Structure 1
Amino acid sequence: MMIAQNVQQWFESSLGQYLIEHEHRYFDQVVANIFGYNAVQIGWPQFDFLRLNRMPLRFSVGSECETSVRAEAGFLPIQTSSMDLVILPHALEFNANPHQILREVHRILIPEGHLVVSGFNPFSLWGVCHHLKSMREEFPWNGDFIALSRLKDWLKLLDFEMAGGRLCCYVPPFKQEKWRRRFAFMEAAGDRWWPISGGVYFLHAIKHTHGMRIIKPDWRNCLDAKRKMVPIARRIIKAAKEKQSSGNSNRIDDLNKS
Structure 2
Amino acid sequence: MATRTAQLDAWFETPLGQRILRVETQNLSTLLPQLFGFHLVQIGSIGQGQLLESSRIRHKWILSRSLDTPSPCVYAHATALPFANDSVDVVVLPHILDFEDHPHEVLREVQRVLIPEGHVIILGFNPLSLWGLWHWFLLKREVAPWCGRFLPILRIKDWLALLGLDVVTQRTFFFSLPLQRQHFIRTAQQLDQWGERWLPTMGAIYVLVACKRVLPLTLIRPRWQQQPVLVTSGMVGMNRES
Instruction: Give structure 1 stretches of 5+ with no counterpart.
Output: 226-258
Alpha-carbon distance between aligned partners in 1 of 2:193 and 2:179, rounded to the nearest angstrom: 17
1:87-141 Cα offsets, whole Å, 9 max, x none, are: 1001111100000000000000011001100000111111122222487211111
Alpha-carbon distance between aligned partners in 2 of 1:5 and 1:99, rounded to the nearest angstrom: 20
The yes-or-no answer on 1:34 pairing with 2:39 is no
1:62 matched residue in structure 2: 64
Instruction: Give structure 2 stretches of 5+ with no counterpart.
Output: 229-242
Structure 1 contact 41–86 (Cα < 8 Å) conserved = yes
Q: Which has the larger radius of gyration?
A: 1
Letter in 2 for 1:35: F
Percentage of matched positions with identical amino acids: 36
SS in 1 for 2:135: helix
Structure 1 contact 45–64 (Cα < 8 Å) conserved = no
SS in 2 for 1:16: helix
Question: Taking structure 1 as reference, are residues 135 and 47 closer, same or farther at Cα in structure 2, changes over 3 Å only?
Answer: farther
1:56-107 Cα offsets, whole Å, 9 max, x none, are: 3110112122161111101101000001101100111110000000000000
SS in 1 for 2:194: helix
Alpha-carbon distance between aligned partners in 2 of 1:69 and 1:29, rounded to the nearest angstrom: 26
Alpha-carbon distance between aligned partners in 2 of 1:167 and 1:140, rounded to the nearest angstrom: 17
Q: Which one of 109, 115, 119 corresponds to residue 114 of structure 1? A: 119
2:24 matched residue in structure 1: 23
- TM-score computed with the length of structure 2 as normaliser: 0.84
2:135 matched residue in structure 1: 130
SS in 1 for 2:218: coil
1:19-41 Cα offsets, whole Å, 9 max, x none, are: 11111111122111211111100
- How many residues matched? 222
Structure 1 contact 173–180 (Cα < 8 Å) conserved = no
Pairing 1:1-258 to 2, within 5 Å after superposition: 7=8, 9-48=10-49, 49-65=51-67, 66=69, 68-133=73-138, 136-217=141-222, 219=224
Question: Taking structure 1 as reference, are residues 5 and 78 closer, same or farther at Cα in structure 2, changes over 3 Å only?
Answer: closer
Alpha-carbon RMSD across the aligned residues, in angstroms, is 2.2
2:240 matched residue in structure 1: none
Structure 1 contact 170–190 (Cα < 8 Å) conserved = yes
- TM-score computed with the length of structure 1 as normaliser: 0.79
Deviation at 1:149, TM superposition (A): 1.4
Bigger proportion of residues as helix: 1
Deviates more, 1:146-155 or 1:71-80: 146-155
